[in-house]
Amino acid sequence: MRIYDIIEKKRDGQKLTKEEIDFFVQEYTKENIEDYQASALLMAIFINGMDEEETVNLTESMAKSGDMLDLSAIDGITADKHSTGGVGDKTSLIVAPICATLGIKMAKMSGRGLGHTGGTIDKLESINGFNVSLKTEDFFKQVNDICVSIIGQTGNLAPADKKIYALRDVTATVDNISLIASSIMSKKIAAGAKNIVLDVKCGSGAFMKDKESATLLAEMMVKIGKKCGRNMAAVITNMDIPLGSNVGNALEINEVIDILNNKGDKQLRELCIVLSATILSISLDWDYEVAYKKAEQTIIDGSAYKKLIEFVTAQNGNEDFCVAPVSSKSLEIKATKDGYIQSINSRIVGESAVLLGAGREKKTDTIDYGAGIVLYKKTCDKVSVGDTIAILYAETDERLKNAEKLFNTSYTIDDEKPEMKPLIYKTIR
């Protein structure tokens, strides 16, 4: 088999066989195919597409390019939750304790933030002492003992995706549904959980800007997961505005604590209960309404908060939640006219948080865990001149000034109250 022939076939709009896809994935991972040939094939896929069978074959091939985690050492029902990436998205840290409280085994591998979207691992590392690098046997033991552990992705999980994603990133071939779906699902399949719920974000802060493309992506990922023998559901949610009020690592941990103590942003709480109920209903075959009530009850009675503390301390995190203190300098963003907030562009809010030091522009950047943004007003809120819209936190005045300039382009104020978009669009099973 020759990579040249595979490129030519896809260039001419033909369907690739399982063997051809496997040849490309495995040989590229072993560095037997040059980047320029892999780029040409990715561009041909981007332009001519892949059908469902090709996408499933690509996913399976990337999943088995490295370690396939065998969760059979975990007793009970395993589940995983994945978000396609957003701004202020701390749902994993709320959903995992809720589901663990109800006996689901949440063995989760998460990523770091890159660009305007945050990552669960960075958020956890803002807790003093928290260890995200457990050995596999310790990871399994913790899940068996207390039903939950979250660690960073191991070096060898779907290495083909790592290489291919890096190439897509620099060859303008990221935004293709088959490529995104296979990239995300290869990691989820390799991570081993039997039940998988996806939070597919849609809007200004997400890969998918509209409901139609988010639905296509969600449907494709659900089909792939089912073909690979997993129970699947995907919830399509609004990422036009940041999720919750806090953006930035330590700030987001504080918001997690608030939600699990029956306080905080109502929409964030609602989404976490919906995601938890979806996990419980597909994993345990529970009626959705029953699952919703049980998930909500774990917040009301404080049992999910207790589970969060158990989980954090099991991974060496400080029991008192001495998260990294919020950065020493702050700047208030005030309304300069009366009216209603028309929209808050979450991508720009995420990029402003990066300028403050809360995220990375490149992989090697270090993070200021205390930096970030607290939003006091969001879309549809009424404001008067002088009201605080947000407070920015950073360690230097220069960072605050740069972020202020950008943040001020993220929102508009006008006389008419805009229509409120729902947070949750639909669930695909």
Which positions are catalytic? 82, 161, 168, 183, 187
Instruction: For ligand URA, give the closer residue by CB, 207 or 311.
Output: 207
Piece in contact with ligand URA (CB under 6 A), picked from 172-180, 310-318, 363-371, 403-411 = 172-180
Instruction: Please give the C-alpha separations between residue 380 and each of 73, 237, 338, 424, in angstroms, as whole numbers.
Output: 49, 18, 13, 17
| Residue 234 binds ligand URA, judged by CB under 6 A | no
Q: Residue 38, SS3?
A: helix
Instruction: For ligand URA, give the closer residue by CB, 119 or 242.
Output: 119
Piece in contact with ligand URA (CB under 6 A), picked from 140-148, 174-182, 271-279, 292-300 = 174-182
| Residue 164 binds ligand URA, judged by CB under 6 A | no
Q: Residue 229, SS3?
A: coil
| Residue 43 binds ligand URA, judged by CB under 6 A | no
| Residue 180 binds ligand URA, judged by CB under 6 A | yes
Instruction: For ligand URA, give the closer residue by CB, 184 or 373.
Output: 184
| Residue 183 binds ligand URA, judged by CB under 6 A | yes
Piece in contact with ligand URA (CB under 6 A), picked from 2-10, 93-101, 178-186, 307-315 = 178-186
Instruction: For ligand URA, give the closer residue by CB, 92 or 254.
Output: 92
| Minimum gap (Å) between residue 63 Cβ and ligand URA | 13
Sheet bearing 411-414, strands edge to edge: 382-383, 339-344, 411-414
- The one-character DSSP state at 127 is B
| Residue 184 binds ligand URA, judged by CB under 6 A | yes
Residue 125: its H or E element: helix 120-125
Residue 198: other Cβ atoms inside 10 A: 27
Residue among 110, 343, 80 at smallest CA distance from 228: 80
Instruction: Please give the C-alpha separations between residue 331 and each of 22, 392, 411, in angstroms, as whole numbers.
Output: 53, 5, 17
| Residue 400 binds ligand URA, judged by CB under 6 A | no
Asked if 127 and 156 count as a contact pair (C-beta separation under 8 A), the reply is no
* Exposure of 87 in the CB half-sphere (CA atoms within 13 A): 33
| Minimum gap (Å) between residue 258 Cβ and ligand URA | 28
Instruction: For ligand URA, give the closer residue by CB, 65 or 281.
Output: 65
| Minimum gap (Å) between residue 248 Cβ and ligand URA | 21
CA distance 263 to 210: 31
| Minimum gap (Å) between residue 161 Cβ and ligand URA | 7
Torsions phi, psi of 383, nearest 5?
A: -135, 150
| Residue 165 binds ligand URA, judged by CB under 6 A | yes
Interface residues toward ligand URA, by CB under 6 A: 165, 174, 179-180, 183-184, 207
